[in-house]
Structure 1
Amino acid sequence: MPYAQIGPIAVQLPDRIETNQQLQDFFPNWDLKLIEDKTGIQQRHIAAEGETSSDLAVAATRKLFEQHQIDPASIDFVLFCTQTPDYPLPTTSCLIQDRLGLSTDCGALDFNLGCSGFVYGLAMADGLIQSGTAKRILLLTAETYSKFIDDDDRSLRTIFGDGAAATLIDASDQQSLWGFKFGSDGSGGDMLLVGDGGARPVEDSIQPRHRKRWKSRLYMDGPSLINFTVEAIPRLVEQILSANGLKDDDIGYYLMHQATWKMLDQLRTRMEVEPERLPIELAKIGNTVSCTIPILIHQMRQKESWNQESNNMLVGFGVGLSWAGCLWKDLYR
């Protein structure tokens, strides 16, 4: 039986870089030192006016094809995860298929998930490959949350960055992804939301959990999200370990959604995991939502300490509320 294997990854970040020092110069009343200590973020890449998630995804894919000599004709399915699509319709993945010159026999699917989206995408890719429906899948994640954020919003502007990652998923006779586990709780939908732009009238839409302090279309209740994360994610990790007959010592790295330093450090403490086994690598790019895990994998693969023989766990969590995890061994050479 064929299984999905994570192949090469290419990352595309917008040209514009916004640093904390630039924000401090523009907003002298903001305590950027305190904010940076909590978030661990020093700068973010911000999409240009008119630059969309599909633009970033297409650029990342072209980089992937060039760097790894991939024939576009070999792609038989596109999975595109974004919460900032180009249009309500048509499906953005169909537009990407056309822009990349992929075969018209290629399937194309958008799915709207944020911070857990990459793991969900891996599960869908694994299902397509195991069923024999597809052999080579392009899993794209791309976000431009900056377009939802007001310039004066120090709570969000200092956290979210834009970007895209293109991940090649190939069929393999070796199983490298297993133990998928998912969770969702829509009662927490009021913790992170954009309440306009959909079909439901704004006056009838989900309301923010607490008073909305900023003009941004995007609302986030950070403390509630941290509380959710430090309760749900250690439980998810334990469920995956137990279901697969593993213990913490059997895991090399916990590669988690890169939300903020504070959130991930609290997870390290709650799970009693050494810092090097739960890496935090968001200082130069910020929280790129669905892109953080593939970007993190790309970063880790470039480190001398990366051990391709270890069993790792991939964990995404956030908006929805939605969370997902799986086990992964890096068989890509």
Structure 2
Amino acid sequence: MMAHFYSRVLGTGSYLPRIYVTNQMLAKKLAQHGIETSDEWIVARTGIHSRYFAPPEQATSDLALIAARRAIVESSIDLQAIELIIVATSTPDFIFPSTACLVQAKLGIHNGSAAFDVQAVCSGFAYALAIADGLIRSGMYRNALVIGAETFSRLLDFKDRNTCILFGDGAGAVVLTASDRPGMLSSALHADGRHAHILCAPGNVSGGIVHGSALLHMDGPAVFKLAVNILEKVAREALAKADMSADQIDWLIPHQANIRIMRGICRKLGLPLERMIVTLSEHGNTSAASIPLALDVAVHDGRIKSGDRVLIEGVGGGFTWGAVIICM
């Protein structure tokens, strides 16, 4: 098979589940456990006003399915032309099979396409996008569906106001295709397992029993300190690989974790805040879904246009981090 030099984004899609949760609603839930918080406290520390939770009957694959269908419609690609499906998630439906295989079946793709999950938490979409780009460039596949999907609300400890206020559920997707025009311009991926303990869900299943805790644990100050430094470095690494300067970037889409981290990265890169896409206020932190959700919102509201250069970057448990530069 002849190798293709580039991959390009053909279409984007996203989905948010139906349970809308404001800060005021969350404060009432925490009050049931004797924990005080308020809309003002949450907004001041995070920039989040609301988020969406999936109902019990809706799995991560269901969210991914709707986002995928929307991206496929936007791309005008035939379902059976999709040869590769990658789902970035830390909240799969099952231990196995992969959520990607479940999405493949629900989409009705029966062409033997490859399907697998990527687990890099909040960096997951950057990882998945870089993997798909590399496989398309190699000539192994021509069309890929890349999804970030999470039901993070199911990992939250609603007795810990420092973490449960941050996260929400959702999904975002892109269709990539081989092209003779530049699309994915560069990528940079990293991890450092020495920091695994500062952001984790430290439980495992053995003999049908959960050992340890299956709920999210985070050392907020440690994560904040690490994130700001490594996100600037990985962004500059991706820029150097693309032979670009920061002022050549039209849009920055950072992982939607905390508005203070996001603004800090913008300042360090010398970009005006107006060039940063922010959906954190309405969506909260949707982990691997946050970047593709924000990308889809900005594409469909007309901010991101064909030819725009977009820098995406994320940092997550593992500890993982990565950046990708896209020419839309």
Question: TM-score, normalization: structure 2?
Answer: 0.90
Structure 2 distance, partners of 1:307, 1:86, is 34
Contact preservation (8 Å) 1:11, 1:164:
yes
Is residue 286 from structure 1 mapped to residue 284 from structure 2 by the alignment?
Answer: yes
Q: Secondary structure at the match of 1:163?
A: strand
Structure 2 distance, partners of 1:75, 1:243, is 29
Structure 1 distance, partners of 2:76, 2:41, is 45
Q: CA RMSD in A?
A: 2.3
Contact preservation (8 Å) 1:15, 1:45:
yes
Contact preservation (8 Å) 1:4, 1:176:
yes
Q: Within 5 A, what are the aligned runs for 1:56-205?
A: 56-66=63-73, 69-198=76-205
Contact preservation (8 Å) 2:10, 2:75:
no
From 4, 8, 11, the counterpart of 1:5 = 8
Measured after TM superposition, the shift of residue 92 of structure 1 is 2.5
- What letter corresponds to residue 17 of structure 2 in structure 1? P
Contact preservation (8 Å) 2:30, 2:161:
no
1:234 aligned residue? 232
- What letter corresponds to residue 329 of structure 1 in structure 2? C
Structure 1 distance, partners of 2:69, 2:247, is 39
Which deviates further from its counterpart, 279-288 or 304-313? 304-313
Q: Secondary structure at the match of 2:203?
A: coil
Measured after TM superposition, the shift of residue 193 of structure 1 is 0.6
Measured after TM superposition, the shift of residue 63 of structure 1 is 3.3
Q: Which segments of 5 or more consecutive residues in structure 1 lack a partner in the other structure?
A: 206-214
Structure 1 distance, partners of 2:322, 2:110, is 31
Distance change (3 Å), C-alpha of 1:199 and 1:328: farther
Q: Runs of at least 4 residues of structure 1 off by over 6 A?
A: 200-203
Measured after TM superposition, the shift of residue 326 of structure 1 is 2.1
Structure 2 distance, partners of 1:69, 1:271, is 36
Structure 1 distance, partners of 2:245, 2:76, is 39
Question: TM-score, normalization: structure 1?
Answer: 0.88
Structure 2 distance, partners of 1:6, 1:104, is 22
Paired residue total: 320
From 264, 269, 272, the counterpart of 1:271 = 269
Measured after TM superposition, the shift of residue 305 of structure 1 is 4.2
Q: Secondary structure at the match of 2:96?
A: coil
Percent of paired sites with the same residue:
29
Structure 1 distance, partners of 2:85, 2:30, is 42
Q: Which segments of 5 or more consecutive residues in structure 2 lack a partner in the other structure?
A: none
